[in-house]
Amino acid sequence: MTTTITRAQYETRGAVPQDVIQPVQMPRPALTSGQVLLAVLAAPINPSDVLTLTGEYGILPPLPAIGGNEGVGRVVECGPDVTFPPVGQTVLLPVSSGTWSSHVVAEAAKLIPLPNEADPQQLSMMTVNPPTAALMLSEFVDLQPGDWVIQNVANSGVGSYLIQLAKIRGFKTVNVVRRESAVADVKKLGGDVVIVDGEKLAKRVAEATNGAKIMLGIDAVGGEATDRLASTLGTGATLVNYGMMSGKPCQISARSFIFNDVTLKGFWLAKWFRSASKEQQMVLFGEIAKLIATGKLHAPVHATYDVSEIQAAVLAANTGERNGKILVVPKHI
């Protein structure tokens, strides 16, 4: 067993996220009663992680901090009084536990076991993006099989999961992307309609869907993109915003708000977790883990990096021209 562990630490925040974080060596911690040592198998870098490094996210941990909010690990050592999960069990890493690490110490009683045979890289992405997509499809509009939903940034992590979950549930998707080069990949994921954002979006969407009444829109951009998405929706529809990739607040015209009765709502997964019961969370994670283990739910991975390469990993994650997620995958595993 190693005597040291590697963790990606930052002591300040700044406009260039990769400049504030670096790998540091720490002594391997001693386990106390009820604790286990987990070898990290994979941990993704999400947009919210990058915003945490720049200081622009809604909740910021005290400094110094270890990067990474989700991932999966394998139990490699059990502390006193621990009988479950056993050594060798794959588990979901606790949220906000500093997952960009070679190892993490966790309370055994709070861990959620996962299928050992499932791809750990795919499992590592299940805490944030799949629940976000799943809940936005179910919490705001009572969609029925055959109904349409429209989203922008469809080639994002959340977007790819939303396409797959919608298809599993029998919904059809209109997928708006910001560049022509992303169209083919979104179609491969199963997007029914894929359109590049821009002028006359409502007209182009109506033509592609034969004038379908779309009652749910999903926005991750903000600014004028929100208004363009709202213009595609049916009377009385709901538009859900979960991100601000443009850096601008949501903008909706009086036509959509007043004359088309569109409702704008926000979604933040952390808030849902605070109010959801343990049983509700287990049901959601159980469904997602099963879909991932059976290959019905997956996300493209652009590249993997060791913890020692965290600066290059963050730089890659902060680059727009990607076709998949950036993962931290410790090489010693």
What phi, psi does 126 have (nearest 5°)? Answer: -90, -10
Beta carbons of 186 and 175 less than 8 angstroms apart: yes
Q: How far is CA 5 from CA 90, 92, 172, 217, 224, in A?
A: 19, 19, 46, 44, 46
Q: Which residues are 40's β-sheet partners?
A: 73
Catalytic residue among 10, 57, 242, 305: 57
CA separation for the pair 42, 169 (Å, rounded):
28
What are the residue ranges of helices labelled H in the chain?
47-54, 120-123, 129-138, 157-169, 183-189, 201-208, 224-230, 254, 269-275, 278-293, 310-317
Beta strands 103-107 and 35-45 are: antiparallel
Beta carbons of 65 and 101 less than 8 angstroms apart: no
Q: Shortest CA distance to 127 belongs to which of 105, 97, 89, 101? A: 97
Reading the block at residue 61, the tokens are: 């941990």
57 tagged catalytic: yes
3-state secondary structure (DSSP) of residue 194: strand
Q: How many CB atoms lie within 10 A of CB 139?
A: 12
Residues classed as catalytic: 57
